[in-house]
């Protein structure tokens, strides 16, 4: 059976459109329910939660590279900038605009995935 690290690497390397539980389960040779269970057991968070974190990271990374909020949000799979902003506020309790200077610092420290 593939390790969870391998599963996470597949998620991080694929585009937003390939980040579905069904596609990942097929790629690693597990049923969706088994992968969902192993994922949350090994990583301590749900598959959907992890994918949401990746989408937020992708948006912030694009913002740090100079993209507009709308372009960054759309590229990361959000329906629009407002959808990203609502999600960000729900997850972190503040608006993305409140992080303006921290985004470039965060992306510089995180480096390439």
Give the integer Cα–Cα distance in Å for 88 and 76: 13
Closest CA to 19 of 68, 57, 72, 70: 57
Distance CA 65, CA 17 (A): 21
Put simply, whether the predicted model's pTM sits higher than 0.85 gets the answer no
pLDDT digits (tens, 9 = 90+) for 38-97: 888 888 889 888 889 889 988 988 888 889 989 999 999 899 999 999 999 999 898 887
Find the range with the poorest average confidence among 26-30, 40-44, 77-81, 102-106.
102-106
DSSP 96: G
Q: List, as own/partner pairs, every contact residues 9-14 make where C-beta atoms lie below 8 angstroms and the sequence separation is at least 24, other chains included.
A: 11/50, 11/51, 11/54, 12/54, 12/113, 13/113
Residue 14: the pLDDT is 59
Q: What is the C-alpha to C-alpha distance for residues 108 and 111, in angstroms, rounded to an integer? A: 6
């Amino acid at each position: 059976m593939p390790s969870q690290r391998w599963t996470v690497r597949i998620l991080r390397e694929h585009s937003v459109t390939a980040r579905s539980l069904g596609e990942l389960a097929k790629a690693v040779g597990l049923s969706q329910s088994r992968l969902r269970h192993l994922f949350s057991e090994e990583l301590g968070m749900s598959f959907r939660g992890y994918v949401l974190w990746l989408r937020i990271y992708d948006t912030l990374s694009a913002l740090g590279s100079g993209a507009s909020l709308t372009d960054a949000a759309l590229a990361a799979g959000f329906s629009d900038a407002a959808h990203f902003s609502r999600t960000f506020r729900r997850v972190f309790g503040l608006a993305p605009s409140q992080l303006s200077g921290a985004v470039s610092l965060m992306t510089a420290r995180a480096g390439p995935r």
